[in-house]
A and B are shown apart, each in its own frame.
Chain A
Amino acid sequence: MNDLTPTREQREAALEGMGCKRKRVEDVRFTQGKGQYVDDVKLPGMVFGDFVRSPYAHAKVTKIDATEALKLPGVIAVLTAEDLKGVNLAWMPTLAGDVQMVLADGKVLYQNQEVAFVVAENRYIADDAIQLVEVEYEELPVIVDPFKSMDPDAPVLRPDLEGKTEGAHGPRKHHNHIFTWEVGDKDETARAFDEADVTIKEKISYHRTHPSPLETCQCIASMDKVKGELTIWGTFQAPHVIRTVASLLSTIPEHKIHVVAPDIGGGFGNKVGAYPGYICSIVASIVTGVPVKWVEDRMENLSTTSFARDYHMTAEIAAKSDGTVTGLKVHVLADHGGFDACADPSKWPAGFFNIVTGSYDFPVAHLEVDGVYTNKAPGGVAYRCSFRVTEAAYCIERAMDILAQKLGMDPADLRMKNFVKPEQFPYQSALGWEYDSGDYHTAMQKVMDTIGYRELRAEQKAKQEAFKRGETREIMGIGISFFTEIVGAGPSKNCDILGVAMFDSAEIRVHPTGSVISRMGTKSQGQGHETTWAQIIATEIGIPAADIMVEEGNTDTAPYGLGTYGSRSTPVAGAAIALAARKIRNKAQMIAAHMLEVSEYDLDWDVDGFQVKGNPQARKSMKEIAWAAYHAPPPGMEPGLEAVSYYDPPNMTYPFGAYFCVMDIDVDTGVAKTRRFYALDDCGTRINPMIIEGQVHGGLTEAFAIAMGQEIRYDEIGNVLGASFMDFFLPTAVETPHWETDYTVTPSPHHPIGAKGVGESPNVGGVPAFSNAVNDAFQFLGSTHIQMPHDAWRLWQVAKDLGVHG
């Protein structure tokens, strides 16, 4: 060693491994406009597909006449359900065990439903041709309100299911009923309510909205008829699942289907499902023999490819007079639209909504979810949350505030009193989950101290007095949300998609010169996997992140994985990466032992290589070991240095956080201003703090949008209101609040690196924080619960209804 020998710290820093705020490698191409998104891909001879859509929400389709459209120069084909029947693709299975029309088969069930698929030489001609396809409709009565869906005289929405008394998730009790899902102990919960000192009951709705990534859903299907091979480029959060589904539907062998998900312009759950556009493009390419591109426009995106939420929850809590909760009862009416296409693991018709006991130690609970059909778009995707977890978090966090109000207790104190205690972990919840780790009290106290919670309450009280005296027209709310997420789906014992267990995977290959290529079954849509996955590998095998290339999204090269959604990438693929890397390190240790002529047990791992115990000068770096692995491996050992790992997680992970929102509302305009938003997240081990912070900012902004105005509304005849960015609220830089972030670290005990996942926590925790702030502000005027979204018009109406406008 001499002065030029790098210190341990210098060698560690050079790796840019876990915990480091590594700048993103993706940004070099993205900042130069050199990303490659689906619509950037051009193939020779490529043509364009586009849909004729229904103007009606519920109607019989009595005639489709494409004669005039086909006369237009440049129009190649017009596909209808009748054409798709020839290849048995007029209907497709959904992830939820239902079937869905690909193109209208005799009727339509929601506005803008796909009726015919026009294929033309370019986008403009396709658009012209759409206008020339004549479709005759016979209007039918429309159901928009899910509460009227199961009326005895409600119109039959799904004649294809007539007489089917059994659905994918048990008995159906009405022609518009999909499933009833029941969890928990009904009798014991009823007893808790009988014996309670205090109970509350409130209908808490979480309105319909949409993930709305800036890039819409799109694909290119290219059938090579000579080779019998199909290649699909697409905006797929789960490319391997798309390949399997495409194979099952098309009967093309799976090895002859190549799915490529290039750069994706945001997903947020929108790009998990399989949509008619994909199926029609594939069929059109098979029919025409040329590549077919389909790119939905924004209106199509907002009104047809999925939706989120639309959960109508009735929450009841039983408690002692000191605030100790003794029971929870929740009923949900879930509006699934015209087809049940919810993107949940197959056995979970309401996702993981049974996380609804939240962060609190409920001894008993009972949950029942009824799914119903209405004349709205299908979907039910997890919009930046694990499956139905944001609905559950909203439900319990509102309900706890309502209980606090009834008890006259401070809502922070009520939460502190009922939190699951650190010593109770692993904690078995009343509705069946085993929470892996947590320290809720510490997180909560840290935020309360930092923002000066008690002082804010005193200020609020003074403002309320001033308001009553007529000295101000502004009211102040403090919104608290303490959420527990459940992510990382998931263990094969209870999670699968169409029968494929929800493991994930990683493959790592170390090249002779010590650089690395690695591939995963996940697919980034902005999460920065190319940066962070390399950081995990760097720390595990001591090769600088800069020398590690991460590749995702090509099903030919990547090991099978279930994709990126539900904050599952880090909990599942992140674990697979660490374990694959450890396999490499184990082999490297044997090679190093051979090189240093010692027993492998005489070696210590040290940052970026192995050294002999008690003799740190005798060491071999990973770079040297990599060369040896190809040049002169130990006798009897296979050459090479690579590993694959498929990881079946033993449990979910349970990130949590404490979010506080301070808000001022002008009662005469309804305008709400977020004065302060403080978000503390505990996602276990932190891989890249810069990226975590960015994820939290983004998730909070989406939560802000959802709580404060973003909605997919329908009028009484099923017209979509709000299917453009004119009407659908996406906050700009002006409305978006300033975010303050913080953290605690409670590692997951069962995850190889202790990480829990974070991308969706801010949406899950953010929505209740905003809504609780609004509700908290109005509470002293006699309000108990105000439904979201809380836009200025609605808040003005609330103030008016409470009589404060005089």
Chain B
Amino acid sequence: MSDTEQFPVTMTVNGKKVQRFVEARTLLIHFLREDLNLTGPHIGCETTHCGACTVEMNGMSVKTCTLFAVQANGAELTTIEGMANPDGTLSALQEGFRQMHGLQCGFCTPGMIMRAHTLLKENPNPTEDEIRMGISGNLCRCTGYQNIVKAIQYAAAKLNGTDFQEAAE
């Protein structure tokens, strides 16, 4: 096998089936960004630490900078580009991040929202500590996390149909 030998991959990304040929060494993040033009997932570290490249794969949060595209063969993926409501409005998490000022430069945001999306499926009603632990694989340099926690609480309340009570400072 040479570095440049091409392999077929098929996967479902944001509900659409895609088929491409890739090198075995092509990272999933490069496949998403370069081949599929899905530039929402970002590259912050290349070492699985920062989580800016997080997407959902087969119901689990994965960091696409340390997965090969061929490892996602046959998988179902959701990226940030697949998160808005069908009518184009912001989903509960996206709205929560905006309402609670859960982002600044926006670079970690796609990964952070995708992690939170899966977290709320795993645990629809997380405590603050559970949220903090749940997003501890995603780094943010701007917000200090406090408003990200609130954003996720906001979304959880909205998805659960309960009232969101902003904690008193």
Contact = CB atoms under 8 A, between A and B. Distances in A.
A24 B40 contact: no
A673 to B, nearest CB: 14
B45 A298 contact: yes
Nearest to B95: A31
B40 A128 contact: no
Interface in A108-144: 123-124, 128
Candidate in A37, A128, A215 with the most chain B CB atoms within 10 angstroms: A215
Contacts of B45: 298, 724-725
A526 B143 CA distance: 10
A583 interface: no
Contacts of A698: 104, 141-144
A264 B109 CA distance: 13
Which size bracket describes the interface of B in this complex? 35 or more
A263 B131 CA distance: 28
A445 to B, nearest CB: 20
B105 A214 contact: yes
Nearest to B25: A124
Given A214-B52, A214-B108, A726-B49, A31 B144 contact: no
A31 B97 contact: yes
Which size bracket describes the interface of A in this complex? 35 or more
A796 to B, nearest CB: 23
Contact of B146 (A24, A30, A697): A697
Given A214-B50, A725-B139, A35 B106 contact: yes
Given A124-B25, A526-B142, A726-B47, A33 B98 contact: no
B169 A265 contact: no
Given A266-B141, A739-B146, A725 B47 contact: yes
Given A123-B30, A264-B105, A31 B139 contact: no
Nearest to B169: A740
Given A298-B46, A298-B47, A698-B143, A34 B101 contact: no
B158 interface: no
Contacts of A264: 105
A725 B136 CA distance: 13
A98 interface: no
Given A266-B107, A528-B104, A733-B148, A32 B94 contact: yes
A301 to B, nearest CB: 9
Main secondary structure of the interface of B (DSSP, over half): loop
Candidate in B43, B136, B149 with the most chain A CB atoms within 10 angstroms: B43
Nearest to B143: A698
Interface in A6-53: 23-24, 26-37, 39-40, 42
Contacts of B33: 39-40
B42 A31 contact: no
B105 A525 contact: yes
Given A33-B80, A741-B169, A736 B144 contact: yes
Contacts of A37: 39, 42, 107
Interface stretch (A226-234, A359-367, A687-695): A687-695
B13 interface: no
Interface in A696-748: 697-698, 700-702, 724-726, 730, 732-734, 736, 738-741
Contacts of A24: 98, 101
A725 B101 contact: no
Interface in B40-81: 40-47, 49-50, 52, 79-81
B141 A213 contact: yes
Candidate in A33, A212, A695 with the most chain B CB atoms within 10 angstroms: A33
Contact of B90 (A28, A36, A265, A740): A28
A33 B139 contact: no
A27 B142 CA distance: 14
B99 interface: yes
A694 B104 contact: yes
Contacts of B38: 33
A313 B46 CA distance: 36
Given A34-B40, A732-B136, A215 B98 contact: no
A733 B99 contact: no
B136 A526 contact: no
Nearest to B105: A526
Contacts of B135: 732-733
Contacts of A266: 104-105, 107, 141-142
Contacts of B81: 32-34
A265 B106 contact: yes
A128 B101 contact: no
A621 B148 CA distance: 40
Interface string B81-122: 101100000100111011101011111111001000000000
B118 to A, nearest CB: 15
A660 interface: no
Contacts of B144: 697-698, 700-701, 736, 739
Contacts of B23: 124
A33 B45 CA distance: 18
A26 B142 CA distance: 15
B40 A214 contact: no
Given A732-B136, A733-B131, A734-B132, A30 B109 contact: yes
A103 B112 CA distance: 37
Interface string B16-44: 00000001011000100110011111111
Given A214-B140, A739-B146, A26 B25 contact: no
Contacts of A492: none
A527 interface: yes
B10 interface: no
B1 interface: no
B101 A691 contact: yes
24 contacts: A27-B106, A28-B90, A31-B93, A32-B81, A33-B39, A34-B81, A124-B26, A213-B105, A215-B42, A215-B105, A265-B42, A298-B44, A298-B45, A527-B104, A702-B141, A730-B139, A733-B131, A733-B133, A733-B135, A733-B136, A733-B149, A734-B136, A736-B144, A740-B169
Interface of B: 3, 23, 25-26, 30, 33-34, 37-47, 49-50, 52, 79-81, 83-84, 90, 93-95, 97-99, 101, 103-110, 113, 131-133, 135-149, 169
Given A24-B101, A214-B108, 12 more contacts: A28-B98, A30-B103, A31-B98, A31-B106, A124-B23, A215-B44, A266-B141, A526-B105, A526-B142, A697-B144, A733-B131, A733-B135
User: When A and B form their complex, which 8 residue pairs have the shortest distance between CB atoms, in order from nearest?
Assistant: A33-B40, A265-B107, A526-B105, A30-B106, A33-B80, A697-B144, A725-B49, A701-B144
